[in-house]
Amino acid sequence: MGTYDRELIATARAMVAPGKGLLAMDESNGTCAKRFEKLGIPVTIERRRTYRELIIGTPNLADYISGAILYDETIRQSSQAGVPLVKMLEAAGMIPGIKLDLGAKDLPGCPGEKVTEGLDGLRERIAEYYQMGARFAKWRAVIAIDASIPSDTCLIVNAHALARYAALCQEGGLVPIVEPEVLIDGDHSIERCYEVTDRTLQVVFAQLRLNRVELDKMILKPSMVLSGESCSEQASVDLVAQMTVRCLRDNVPTSVPGIAFLSGGQSNERATAHLNAIHTQYGSECPWAVTFSYARAIQQPALDHWHGDDANIPEAQRRLYQRAKLNAAASMGQYMPEMEREMSMV
Residues 6+ apart with CB under 8 A from 30: none
Helices (H), 173-312: 190-210, 237-251, 268-282, 296-306
Tell me the CA distances in angstroms from 231 to 187, 188, 226, 264, one per residue in order: 4, 6, 10, 16
Active site residue 221: yes
Note whether 274 and 227 are within 8 A (CB).
Answer: no
CA atoms within 13 A on the CB side of 215: 15
Closest CA to 260 of 200, 175, 319: 175
| Listed residue (158, 174, 154) closest to 166, CA to CA | 174
Residue 4 or 324: which CB sits closer to ligand 5MM?
324
**Residues 72-111 within binding reach of ligand 5MM (CB under 6 A):** 103
Using the rule CB under 6 A, which residue among 140, 217, 305, 325 binds ligand 5MM?
140
Residue type, 159: A
- Annotated catalytic residue, options 114, 138, 221, 325: 221
Q: With respect to ligand 5MM, which residue has the nearer C-beta, 28 or 78?
A: 28
Least spacing, CB of residue 128 vs ligand 5MM, in Å: 19
Residue 6 CB, shortest distance to ligand 5MM, in Å, is 27
Selected catalytic residue, list 53, 113, 179, 181: 179
The verdict on 295 binding ligand 5MM (CB under 6 A) reads: yes
d(CA 29, CA 26): 9
262: contact with ligand 5MM by CB under 6 A: yes
**Does 37 participate in catalysis according to the annotation?**
no
Binder to ligand 5MM among 296, 305, 319, 323 (CB under 6 A)? 296
Q: Looking only at residues 9 through 48 of this chain, which bind ligand 5MM when binding is defined by CB under 6 A?
A: 24, 26-28, 30-31
Binding site for ligand 5MM (CB under 6 A): 24, 26-28, 30-31, 69, 103, 140, 181, 262-264, 294-297
Which residues are marked as active site? Answer: 179, 221
